[in-house]
Amino acid sequence: METFLHLNRWLHIAAGFTGFFVAPVALAVRKGGPAHRLWGRVFFWSMLVAGTTAILSACLNGLTFLLLTGVFSLYLAQFGYRSLYHKRMGTEHQKPELYDWSVVTLGLLLFAGTLAYGILSRPFNPVPLVFGGIGLLTTLRQLRGFMRPGPWPAGQWLRNHISGFVGSYIAAVSAFSATSLKFIPFPLNFLWPTLVLVPVLIWMQRRYQPLAA
């Protein structure tokens, strides 16, 4: 078991650092081009490995914060990647599949539970409130999109793509900050990436709105 935990830890670190440095590259290159798609895939698989190993480590070691960030990062990474297949969602040629309904239902349960955990936790802990609230709003918006009649608004898939991948990156940076930047006090060590990067996320969604039309 110790060998497994050791290997899992180093795999998590390697994947996390890969995603940490690859995400800015994917954002810097021309959107929709070969380099963007390549580095975007590298980021997605890095977050998939980092999130899975984080959840394994959290379950085996009882680390709640690692479990929260792992679930949050994993869900948002798949949300951002899956949105690439939703460009014609709501038309007669594309409807939500079983996978879509299953994932959004699982997300609702997980993030509602995270939010409840934050509300009931003693002493008060704002971290699950923030992560659970953002996750719940994301899944509710996704569910509303699946249930609405007619095609999605122009560029909704792109806004989801940006939200998912940037949100996953925020979770990864939060985990790194909480575990490595010991000089930052709690809960700011968890929350500063959200405070800094959410405005960047909003700016990006507005910046690339013309591509969505």
- H/E/C letters for each residue in the chain? CHHHHHHHHHHHHHHHHHHHHHHHHHHHCCCCCHHHHHHHHHHHHHHHHHHHHHHHHHHHHCCHHHHHHHHHHHHHHHHHHHHHHCCCCCCCCCCCCHHHHHHHHHHHHHHHHHHHHHHHCCCCCHHHHHHHHHHHHHHHHHHHHHHCCCCCCCCHHHHHHHHHHHHHHHHHHHHHHHHHCCCCCCCHHHHHHHHHHHHHHHHHHHHCHHHHC
pLDDT recorded at residue 195: 92
How many Å apart are CA 102 and CA 200, to the nearest integer? 30
**pLDDT reading at 78 higher than 80:** yes
* Average pLDDT rounded to a whole number, residues 5-14: 88
**pLDDT reading at 51 higher than 80:** yes
* Residues 148-188: tens digit of each pLDDT: 888 888 888 998 999 999 999 998 888 888 888 889 998 89
Q: Which residues of 62-87 are buried (b: 16+ CB within 10 A; e: fewer)?
A: eeebbbbbbbbbbbbbbbbbbbeebe
pLDDT recorded at residue 213: 43
* Average pLDDT rounded to a whole number, residues 1-20: 86
Tokens coding 44 = 């997605």
pLDDT recorded at residue 67: 79
pLDDT recorded at residue 84: 92
* Residues 84-143: tens digit of each pLDDT: 999 889 887 889 999 999 999 999 998 998 898 888 888 888 888 888 898 899 999 999
**Alpha-carbon distances of 81 from 31, 54, 117, 147, 193, rounded to whole Å:** 14, 20, 28, 20, 21
pLDDT recorded at residue 11: 92
Structural domains in the chain (count): 1
**pLDDT reading at 63 higher than 70:** yes
pLDDT recorded at residue 184: 92
- pTM summary value: 0.87
How many Å apart are CA 83 and CA 94, to the nearest integer? 13
Range of the domain at 34: 2-212
**pLDDT reading at 209 higher than 70:** no
